[in-house]
Amino acid sequence: MVRYHKQTRILVALDCIIFGFDGANLKLLLVQRGLEYEKGKWSLMGGFVQKDEDFEKGSARILKELTGLEGVYMEQLFAFGDVNRDPIERTVSVAYFALIDIHQYEKQINTDYHAEWFPIKNTPKLIFDHQKMVDMAKEKLRYKAAFHPILFELLPEKFTLPQLQSLYEGIFDSQFDKRNFSRKLQSTKLLIKQKDKDKESSKKGAYYYKLDKRRYAANFHAFLNLIPNPGNLK
């Protein structure tokens, strides 16, 4: 077997950053670490790449083993390679992130590793450099939300404007003026108002809307002006 001589062997790990939206709040899915050193502490879903799998298959396997989730589209974020990031052994981690509708996947979640959703503003302390991974994923998510039409993948077929605003506010960690946000949404002409209302959130209720998928496919960039300056909201 031909090998590269005098080269150090380094472990490669995969970590999965899963953001979820439950209709009101943006959340982060965490598990309790099952390996020694920091065992039982809160962690992203992580594991080592096997010799017979690529990164995409490995991340999907790890996510299913630790949480029960499968069929989740994940996007590669970054490779974290600080020399001392893992105190046990030199390990490079390739991080993936995803954004899902919690209600769509809630029946898949298992509790073998105590998988739990935490509000993004109230997450516990994470092991190693996992908080750094989460922070970078949030920045990437904000960019994609501002310049790419991804957020409707998180919503049910029928949704309210307050739900959509809550999603944007959770991602950008900012409060938006209700009237101005609603006006901008209406101006896109990509939403179809329904006759029924969601009356669980208030007595008056909020009308449901559906996305006009045909217009959306042809003119999705109409949503890209909702957040004109995403890097300077505060």
pLDDT score for 125: 97
**Per-residue pLDDT at 234 exceeds 60:** no
117 within 8 A of 147, measured Cβ to Cβ: no
Burial class (CB in 10 A: 0-12, 13-18, 19+), 67: buried
Considering the entire predicted model, what is its pTM?
A: 0.86
Pick 160 or 1 by higher pLDDT: 160
Per-residue pLDDT averaged across 147-166, rounded?
82
Rounded Cα gap, residues 145 and 88, in angstroms:
37
Closest by CA position to 63, among listed 74, 52, 53: 74
**Which range among 105-109, 130-134, 148-152, 216-220 has the greatest average pLDDT?**
130-134
Span 66-115, pLDDT tens digits = 999 998 889 999 999 999 999 999 999 999 999 888 988 888 888 888 89
96 φ, ψ (degrees, to nearest 5): -120, 150
pLDDT score for 3: 80
pLDDT score for 230: 56
Count the Cβ atoms, other than its own, within 10 Å of residue 35: 12
- Which residues 6+ apart lie within 8 Å of 110 measured at CB? 67, 68
**CA dihedral over 140, 158, 24, 69, signed as positive or negative:** negative
Average pLDDT of every residue of the chain: 88
Of the pLDDT bands very low, low, confident and very high (cuts 50, 70, 90), residue 190 is confident
